[in-house]
Chains A and B, each alone.
Chain A
Amino acid sequence: MRRIVITGMGVVTPIGNSVEEFKQALFSGKNGIAKITKFDTEDSKYQLAGEIKHLDPAEKLGKPFVRRNDPFTQYAVIAADEAMAQSGLNADAEKGEVNIDSERMGVCFGSGIGGIETLCADHTNLLEKGMKKVSPFFVTKMIYNIAAGNLAIRYKANATCTAVSTACATGATAIGEGYRTILHDYADVMICGGSEAGVLPLTVAGFGNCQALTDNTDPETACRPFDKNRDGFVMAEGAGVIILEEYEHAKQRGANIIAEICGYGSTCDAHHVTAPDPEAKQVARAFLQAIPEELKNLDCEKIYVNAHGTSTPLNDKTETKALKNAFGEEQAKRLHISSTKSMTGHMLGATGTVEAIAAVLALTENTIPPTIHYAEPDPECDLNYTPNQAVKTPVELALSSNLGFGGHNAVLAFRKI
């Protein structure tokens, strides 16, 4: 059986625009949630978001690229450039010595929504100025697969290029499907991840009106996963990219191997479009699918779970139940769990990849990132969520779970190599 490892990672997040910066923020419990600056929130009940700050895409990508691409693609490429640089992979003879066959390198990259900033801007053009004023770049900026397409073009990835969407599980599903692509020998390298740039009046109103967002206006308490007083998530934006590579291929070229991806669980609640199945049976099954047979009896004290932990009343208690179903009531209490959304907010389609990277960092650094803003325990959420302070402890298995509208459940498993 082919083994698959990680040889590169890159992020754009509300708490850091490189993996190093993100890592420091993650372990020190930095809060990336603040008042929305991208639009006037005077009429909005919802005042907060995790926005990307201190990032100049034009400086990194050049003005022509930025003009022709939606922010969701810009974030994707910035994160992917970091990950590809770290991997040392090159499939393009024009860029120097080739160390991967371009027909053995692919892309699996998603977004929860796609180029919605472009959609909103051109729809306004249409209504105000007529059909002739819709930009010729509208389609190629907006369509949801175009971040994936741009990554394939940029790095010359000919093996396969697909865009997946499983709402808030997208970033995890993309990694999982990329993992299977290498596992089943369709490629040796996969550029995987998710991106989102959707903090806009339309989306905030939409998520708000479907009662998913908190209307708390205090950035220090709004996103408090697993806390008794949690009352909704905080939208955020960002991107994450993970380079997956077949183990022997990585070893042969002397690559820096970060960790092994050792499992992927993918199930569906098939229950309701927004609400999780209260029995949490399918989430539990996704956890069990992801854990390799030989680690099924690992002491839970050695396991880190980066929970989806959105800070909505339903998600957090259902996820708690799923963990108990999967590991058993007593063992589940020994797990190290946290929701890093308490720091980043909910990056929708990007969140699964960024959180997978947080899980990998917890594994390699033997440090559990905290759930910040945690104050009051909830009797229905009675596990160890690593409140407010990072914890140093040996980690042997790191799991990252993400659950999306539509009932999508994705769990990834990572171990040291």
Chain B
Amino acid sequence: MVQERIIELLAEATATDAAEITADTAFADLGIDSLDLTEMAMQLEEEFGIELEMKPEIDTVGKLTEVVESLKG
């Protein structure tokens, strides 16, 4: 569920077809910048009731999904 939501938010932010985004997709390949990522992180915090700090090493959909999953417990 977390991954689907992340993909949905990314698809919306970049006007990309959600079907083209997978766990392996790197944020850099979607052409989004740190402002987009911060905004998405804020959205995820609100929806999943977590405190999320975006770090450079969280650079793919899969890695972000893992972090969010572990934070929401």
Interface residues of A (CB under 8 A from B): 62-64, 67-68, 132-133, 135-137, 140
Contacts and interface: CB of A to CB of B under 8 A. Distances in A.
A62 B15 contact: yes
A67 B13 contact: yes
Nearest to B34: A136
Interface string B35-49: 110110010011000
Given A135-B39, A135-B42, 16 more contacts: A62-B15, A63-B15, A64-B13, A64-B14, A64-B15, A67-B13, A68-B36, A132-B42, A132-B45, A133-B46, A136-B34, A136-B35, A136-B39, A136-B42, A137-B35, A137-B39
Nearest to B13: A64
Contacts of B14: 64
Contacts of B34: 136
B66 interface: no
B25 to A, nearest CB: 16
Contacts of B38: 136
B17 interface: no
A67 B9 CA distance: 12
Interface in B3-60: 12-15, 34-36, 38-39, 42, 45-46
Given A136-B35, A137-B35, A140-B35, A63 B42 contact: no
Contacts of A63: 12, 15
Contacts of A62: 15
Contact of B42 (A64, A67, A68, A133): A133
B41 to A, nearest CB: 9
Chain A CB within 10 A, most for which of B14, B34, B35: B35
Contacts of A140: 35
A132 B39 CA distance: 11
A63 B16 CA distance: 10
A132 B14 CA distance: 23
Contacts of B45: 132
24 contacts: A62-B15, A63-B12, A63-B15, A64-B13, A64-B14, A64-B15, A67-B12, A67-B13, A68-B35, A68-B36, A132-B42, A132-B45, A133-B42, A133-B46, A135-B39, A135-B42, A136-B34, A136-B35, A136-B38, A136-B39, A136-B42, A137-B35, A137-B39, A140-B35
